[in-house]
Amino acid sequence: MKVEALNCRCCGGVLEVDSALSVCKYCGATNFVSPTAEKYITQLNRANKLRQEKEYDNAIRIYDNILSENVPTADILWLRTLCEYGIEYVPDPISSKYFPTLHRIKDESILNYHSYLDALQLCNEEQKEVIEREASEINRIQSEYLEIAKNEAPYDVFICYKETDEDTMETTEDVAYCTKLYDILSRQGFKVFFARVTLEDKLSVDFEPYIFAALKSAKVMAVIGSKAEYFTATWVKNEWSRFLKLMETDNKKQIFFACDDPEELPRAFSLKQAQLLSNPNAMEILARNINNYLTNILKEKKNGTLGAKVPLKPGSPEAMYEDALTKSRQGNYAAVLSILSDLIEVYPGMPEAYWLRMAANIRHNLDNIQNSKRDLTLDPDYEKAISLADDTLRKQYIEIKDKCLDNLRLQEEFNSIMDKFADEYENDLKSNEFNSKKNRIMREIEKLIFDISNSSGFSRYKEKMEKERELQVSELDNLYKSILNDLQIKGIAKYRSFCFQNKISDKTEIDMESVKYSALRSKLVTESKALHKKYSQPVAFLAGSERELLKEKDGVGIAEMINKMLPRDY
């Protein structure tokens, strides 16, 4: 077997694969590769890069897609397991070997995790030795981390935020907001996890046990983000996505947000109410809401316990279906498909099994499938479920199918509206004052660039002209920002109007951006960045002969000369 350009799971280096086992020549890590890898090199390399960047959920989605389309293989299952436990391979500075570290502790040992156990079943002896040795080391680290976490006192609140802006490498303004919230809640007697304070005396490699303990025990998470991109920053998303999963099994947990624009929140927060940071008392209001919530939890102590459900017989069709149902709600669709394949093989007469498998195929569970925009009849499991269902269940399935088709129709209808809107908006840009204002600013900047380049190195006016150029570039940036903001606002208005007119629920998966709308927005962003880069470049002084030549040029000639001085990347 010869597989080209597959990357090492530890260091990301290119492997030279000519057998089921491949040792990376860069880091010495042993990789094992199935024939499936040859078909999915691009996807596997992408997933591997995402895992190295700690985008574990996105990497898992890629592995699940591969597993759903093929017979499961040991290598894919093992890579998926690494993502579930947030494994990052860190080089040892002395030996240059790579060792695993954990960023997503679970209570469940990796040695008992289903993807790992399934991978073991599919390994040959040589491969089995490799992953057993590595899983044992991960389990040792996990046990140490869990022991640290066990000794942590429970938290009431977890503050989730971005500490450093990656573009400027400066502390974000969110730190000030979070510090204020931390001070208020701490004075009120709550135990608050705030990384800047809580992890101050910890080594970065040891952060995970304390983060895990706080996520698990805290009843409230407060996510603060003054910029949209802060919500999706790797570590921020890692924390709130884990907390959302914990909320699925603990209805006492709650999440609160504070941001500049609720429309820019990730989709996962779409049904949550956000506190606006523009309010000068934002943190006081947020603290009061958190205080009220935690106080109410204390008042809701229940007397006695509910009657326990009679446990289902292990291995029975009902037990297997319940297991698949639970995995579906957790979003573990690869496990759902595996369980249902076994169930249908031994008990092919259960319509619910086919329906659940159909939902898992499109990455939905039974709670949200009616919100999808799909033609469910394209899945062969739909006809199986319909043919086996009784009248009541069949009617329910058909209603959901019709709802999904209606969602699909609505999406296509809205796409047409947004395409027309994008065309009209683009035409308006050509005819309104945007173009004339943009061209005026560009001429001003080019004139300044000409003056700067034509001045002596010690000209007393040089500094003044440079500042003027900065102001003009800033004005050009703001012009594009205003147009992009106007485009976004009008697009959102059309989306809301369409949803209101068609009585579309917030949960329905209608996407706001059509192809033309997205393309127009992308075009404006690219154009803005290119102009900014072009007009912000340092200007070299011209030689005397060049200055003399410029004096003889007209306005067009000056512009041509300036363009020769500037980078040609726009």
Whether residue 29 sits in one domain with residue 128:
yes
**Is residue 232 included in any domain, yes or no?**
yes
Which of the listed residues 346, 362, 389 is the one where a domain comes to its end?
Answer: 389
Whether residue 430 sits in one domain with residue 346:
no
Local confidence pLDDT in tens for the 570 residues of the chain:
444 578 888 888 888 877 777 888 888 888 878 888 878 888 999 998 888 888 888 899 999 898 888 888 888 899 999 998 888 887 766 566 777 888 888 888 899 998 899 989 888 888 888 889 889 989 998 888 888 878 888 899 999 999 998 888 899 999 999 999 999 998 888 899 999 999 887 765 568 888 988 998 999 999 999 988 898 888 898 899 889 888 888 888 999 989 887 777 777 675 566 788 888 888 988 988 898 888 877 766 433 333 333 455 566 778 888 889 888 888 888 999 999 998 888 778 889 999 999 999 999 988 889 999 999 999 999 999 998 888 888 899 999 999 999 999 999 999 999 999 999 998 888 877 888 888 888 888 888 888 777 765 556 667 788 888 889 888 888 988 988 888 888 888 888 888 888 888 777 888 877 889 989 989 999 989 998 888 887 766 544 444 444 444 444 455 555 555 554 443
Return all residues near 353 (Cβ < 8 A) that are at least 6 apart: 317, 321, 324, 340, 343, 344, 347
Q: Which two tokens stand for residue 547?
A: 């200055």
**Is residue 14 included in any domain, yes or no?**
no
Whether residue 178 sits in one domain with residue 119:
no
Assign residue 209 the CATH number of its domain.
3.40.50.10140
Quote the domain boundaries for residue 283: 157-297
Q: Is the pTM here over 0.85, yes or no?
A: no
Whether residue 418 sits in one domain with residue 384:
no
Q: Which 8-state DSSP code applies to residue 76?
A: H
Which of the listed residues 297, 329, 351 is the one where a domain comes to its end?
Answer: 297
The 3-state secondary structure of 284-319, one letter per residue: HHHHHHHHHHHHHHHHCCCCCCCCCCCCCCCCCHHH
What's the structural domain count of the chain? 4
Q: How far apart are CA 357 and CA 329, in angstroms?
A: 13
**Is residue 97 included in any domain, yes or no?**
yes
Whether residue 107 sits in one domain with residue 40:
yes
Distances from the Cα of 385 to the Cα of 340, 356, 358, angstroms: 13, 9, 9
Q: What is the pLDDT of residue 544?
A: 46
- For the chain, what is the largest distance between any 2 Cα atoms, rounded to a whole number of angstroms? 95
Which of the listed residues 389, 421, 440 is the one where a domain comes to its end?
Answer: 389
Q: How far apart are CA 459 and CA 464, in angstroms?
A: 10
Return all residues near 42 (Cβ < 8 A) that are at least 6 apart: none
Whether residue 284 sits in one domain with residue 322:
no
**Is residue 130 included in any domain, yes or no?**
yes
CA 517 from centroid of its chain's CA atoms: 22
Q: What is the pLDDT of residue 563?
A: 54
Whether residue 289 sits in one domain with residue 370:
no
Q: What is the pLDDT of residue 96?
A: 63
**Is residue 433 included in any domain, yes or no?**
yes
Q: Which two tokens stand for residue 499?
A: 């949803």
Q: Within 13 Å and on the Cβ side, how many CA atoms surround 497?
A: 9
Q: Which two tokens stand for residue 560?
A: 């041509």
Whether residue 335 sits in one domain with residue 249:
no
Closest residue by Cα to residue 283 from 227, 224, 240, 236 = 224
Q: How far apart are CA 273 and CA 79, in angstroms?
A: 37
**Is residue 304 included in any domain, yes or no?**
no
Whether residue 177 sits in one domain with residue 265:
yes
Q: Which backbone phi and psi does 22 adopt, to 5 degrees?
A: -135, 125
CA 16 from centroid of its chain's CA atoms: 32
Whether residue 465 sits in one domain with residue 490:
yes
**Is residue 396 included in any domain, yes or no?**
no
Q: How far apart are CA 54 and CA 59, in angstroms?
A: 9
Q: Which two tokens stand for residue 224?
A: 């603060």
Whether residue 131 sits in one domain with residue 229:
no
Q: How far apart are CA 57 and CA 266, in angstroms?
A: 14
Measure the CA angle with vertex 331, ends 328 and 333; round to 5°.
65
**Structural element, H or E, at residue 130:** helix 125-150
Whether residue 477 sits in one domain with residue 529:
yes
Q: Which backbone phi and psi does 482 adopt, to 5 degrees?
A: -65, -40
Q: How far apart are CA 162 and CA 142, in angstroms?
A: 26
Q: Which two tokens stand for residue 353?
A: 């099994």
Residues in the chain: 570
Alpha-carbon dihedral angle through residues 200, 201, 204, 206, given to the nearest 10 degrees: -130
Q: How far apart are CA 18 and CA 25, in angstroms?
A: 13
Cβ 87 vs Cβ 60: under 8 Å = no
Q: How far apart are CA 274 and CA 24, in angstroms?
A: 48
Q: What is the pLDDT of residue 564?
A: 53
Q: What is the pLDDT of residue 569?
A: 45
Assign residue 375 the CATH number of its domain.
1.25.40
Residue with the two structure tokens 């994008």: 422
**Is residue 108 included in any domain, yes or no?**
yes
